[in-house]
Amino acid sequence: MKQDSELAIRVRNMSRTFGDKLAVDQLDLDIPKGTIYGFLGPNGCGKSTSIRMLTGLLTPTSGDIRVLGYELPRQAELLRTRIGYMTQKFSLYETLSVRENLDFVGQIYSLGRQQRRQRIDELLRLYSLGDHQKQMAGSLSGGQKQRLALAAATLHHPDLLFLDEPTSAVDPENRREFWERLFDLCHQGTTILVSTHYMDEAERCHALAILEDGVKRADGSPDQLMQDMGARVFEVSGDDLRALKTRLINQPQVISAAQLGTRLRVLVRKSEPQPQQWLQQQLLNQTSEEVRPSLEDVFVSCTGGHHV
Amino acid sequence: MSELGNSLSRTLAIIIKELRQLSRDRMTFALILMIPMVQLILFGYAINTDVRHIEVGVVDLSQSSWSRELLRVTAATQAVDFHHSYGSVQEAEQAITRGEVKAVLYLPADLPERLVVHPSFTGQGQTSRQPALTPAVGQWLVDGSDTLVASSIRGLRTLPLDEVAGRPHNPALPVLEVVQYFNAEQRSVVNIVPGLLAIILTMTMILFTSAAIVREREHGNMEFLITTPVKPLELMIGKITPYMLVGILQISIILTMGHLVFDVPIRGSALNILGSALLFIAASLTLGLVISTIARTQLQAMQMTIFILLPSILLSGFMFPYDAMPEPAQYIAEALPATHFIRLIRGVVLREAQISDMPADAIWLALFALGGLLVAAKRFHKQLE
Mutation for testing the A interface, residue in B224, B234, B235, B382 having most A CBs under 10 Å = B224
B166 and B254 assigned to the same domain: no
pLDDT score of B207 more than 70: yes
Q: Using alpha carbons, list the distances in angstroms from residue A91 to A162, B215, B222, B223.
A: 14, 12, 7, 7
B65 and B148 assigned to the same domain: yes
User: For A163-186, how does the pLDDT look when each residue is reduced to its tens digit (9 = 90+)?
Assistant: 999 887 788 888 888 999 999 999
Chain B contact present for A95, CB below 8 A: yes
Least confident of A14-28, A188-202, B207-221, B269-283: B207-221
Contact B20 A96 (CB under 8 A): yes
| Contacting residues of A for B219, CB less than 8 Å apart | 91, 94
Chain A contact present for B25, CB below 8 A: yes
Chain A contact present for B10, CB below 8 A: yes
Beta strands (DSSP E) in chain B are 54-60, 80-85, 103-107, 139-142
User: For A40-96, how does the pLDDT look when each residue is reduced to its tens digit (9 = 90+)?
Assistant: 988 888 899 999 999 988 899 999 999 999 998 889 888 988 999 999 889 999 999
The whole-number average pLDDT for the span B247-264 is: 89
Q: What is the CATH number of the domain that holds B70?
A: 3.40.1710
A:B CB pairs within 8 Å: 78
User: For B293-335, how does the pLDDT look when each residue is reduced to its tens digit (9 = 90+)?
Assistant: 888 888 898 899 888 888 888 888 888 888 888 889 899 899 9
Å between B238 CA and nearest CA of chain A = 12
Q: How far apart are CA B93 and CA B79, in angstroms?
A: 21
User: For A112-123, how does the pLDDT look when each residue is reduced to its tens digit (9 = 90+)?
Assistant: 899 999 999 999
> Do B206 and B288 touch, CB atoms closer than 8 A?
yes
Is B200 part of a structural domain of the chain? Answer: yes
B240 and B269 assigned to the same domain: yes
| Contacting residues of A for B17, CB less than 8 Å apart | 93, 96, 100, 104
Chain B contact present for A199, CB below 8 A: no
Give how many domains chain B has, as a whole number.
Answer: 2
pLDDT score of A308 more than 50: no
Å between B228 CA and nearest CA of chain A = 6
B80 and B95 assigned to the same domain: yes
B291 and B261 assigned to the same domain: yes
Is B384 part of a structural domain of the chain? Answer: no
Chain A contact present for B1, CB below 8 A: yes
User: Complex ipTM above 0.85?
Assistant: no
Chain A contact present for B9, CB below 8 A: yes
| Contacting residues of B for A94, CB less than 8 Å apart | 219
B222 and B238 assigned to the same domain: yes
| Contacting residues of A for B224, CB less than 8 Å apart | 85, 87, 91-92, 152
Contact B227 A104 (CB under 8 A): no
B273 and B346 assigned to the same domain: yes
Contact B220 A90 (CB under 8 A): yes
B147 and B231 assigned to the same domain: no
Q: How confident is the model at residue A109 (pLDDT cuts 50, 70, 90)?
A: very high
Chain B contact present for A94, CB below 8 A: yes
β A191-196/A36-40 pair status: parallel
B146 and B283 assigned to the same domain: no
Q: Which of B147, B181, B215 is the last residue of a domain?
A: B181
Q: What is the pTM of this model?
A: 0.78
| Contacting residues of B for A90, CB less than 8 Å apart | 220
pLDDT score of B133 more than 70: no
Mutation for testing the B interface, residue in A78, A110, A120 having most B CBs under 10 Å = A110
Least confident of A176-185, A226-235, B84-93, B208-217: B208-217
Is B101 part of a structural domain of the chain? Answer: yes
B192 and B80 assigned to the same domain: no
Q: Which of B157, B181, B205 is the last residue of a domain?
A: B181
Is B23 part of a structural domain of the chain? Answer: no
Chain B contact present for A76, CB below 8 A: yes
Q: Among B74, B234, B258, B241, which residue's Cα sits nearest to residue B158?
A: B74
Contact partners, residue B380, CB within 8 Å, separation at least 6: B213, B232, B235, B236, B293
Contact partners, residue A278, CB within 8 Å, separation at least 6: A253, A268, A272
Q: How far apart are CA B239 and CA B224, in angstroms?
A: 17
B65 and B153 assigned to the same domain: yes
Q: Which of B181, B196, B211 is the last residue of a domain?
A: B181
Chain A contact present for B27, CB below 8 A: no
Q: How confident is the model at residue B132 (pLDDT cuts 50, 70, 90)?
A: low
| Contacting residues of B for A91, CB less than 8 Å apart | 219-225
Contact A57 B385 (CB under 8 A): no
Q: Which of B10, B12, B383 comes nearest A58 by C-beta?
A: B383
Is B206 part of a structural domain of the chain? Answer: yes
Q: How confident is the model at residue B278 (pLDDT cuts 50, 70, 90)?
A: very high
Is B342 part of a structural domain of the chain? Answer: yes
Contact B228 A108 (CB under 8 A): yes
pLDDT on residue B172: 65
Chain B contact present for A58, CB below 8 A: yes
Is B7 part of a structural domain of the chain? Answer: no
Contact B1 A59 (CB under 8 A): no
Contact A107 B10 (CB under 8 A): yes
pLDDT on residue A84: 94
Chain B contact present for A144, CB below 8 A: no
Q: Which of B25, B223, B229 comes nearest A87 by C-beta?
A: B223
| Contacting residues of B for A87, CB less than 8 Å apart | 220, 223-224
B304 and B229 assigned to the same domain: yes
| Contacting residues of B for A58, CB less than 8 Å apart | 383-385
| Contacting residues of A for B24, CB less than 8 Å apart | 95
Contact B10 A90 (CB under 8 A): no
Nearest CA in chain B to A99: B17
Is B25 part of a structural domain of the chain? Answer: no
Neighbouring C-beta atoms of residue A69, cutoff 10 Å: 14
Q: Which domain holds residue B137?
A: 54-181
pLDDT on residue A307: 44
| Contacting residues of A for B225, CB less than 8 Å apart | 91
Q: How far is CA B80 from the centre of its chain?
A: 25
Chain A contact present for B98, CB below 8 A: no
